[in-house]
Amino acid sequence: MAIYHFSMKPIARSGGRSAVASAAYRAAERLTNERDGLTHDFSNRTGVEHAEIVLPAGSSAYWAMKRSALWNAAERVEKRSDARIAREFEIALPHELTPDQRLALTRAFAEDLANRYGAAVDFAIHRPGGASDIRNSHAHLMMTTREVTETGLGDKTLLERENRWLLANHLPPSQLQLKDLRQAWEHLANRHLAMAGHDIRIDHRSHLEAG
């Protein structure tokens, strides 16, 4: 069985983090955070196979295709000192797939996230480091906490809403949304494994849940 790993964590100011610095590191770029004037230069970093920004289908928010513009907009729109600036998903990519197949799979999941939440998704595929397990190909997907529009960032995505608000509007709470995302990744990865001719599958369930 291929490795299943799917984690989600916030990128928040309360932890001393910035979306601009995080995006620069993951994409191996040099970006300046206009909010505090700090430049984060990771352009010499190795191991980044591919980095790309995905928008919802039919979106005309072309401004957001530039990494600096996207994440500086995310920093600018949040005023609170403890604001959550982005959501990050980290996923293990099946090492049985070729690099092109892993890219197609990651892009498909990024598109699913973008369409599901109306957000911009900035993903980077990292290959294993020199001393790490050769099977450790993985991807980082940074998603905006707000919907992306033609003129900027708009309302909070459903993933960022309080559970009380979600339940009052007959929408699934955040934990159920996360469970659905974990299942969506499982189904998408297994479909791509099958298309590539592999009979192995990943399973999002714990060992206990799987019996």
pLDDT score at 4? 83
pLDDT digits (tens, 9 = 90+) for 124-183: 999 876 665 566 789 999 999 999 999 999 999 999 999 999 999 999 999 999 999 999
pTM over 0.95: no
Give the integer Cα–Cα distance in Å for 23 and 158: 22
Domains and CATH numbers, the chain: 6-195 (3.30.930.30)
Q: At 145, phi and psi to the nearest 5?
A: -85, -5
**Beta-bridge partners for 39:** 32
Which strand (E) or helix (H) includes residue 188? helix 174-195
For residue 168, the one-letter residue type is A
For the chain, the 3-state helix, strand and coil shares in percent, each to the nearest 5, are 35, 25, 40
pLDDT digits (tens, 9 = 90+) for 81-102: 889 999 999 999 998 999 999 9
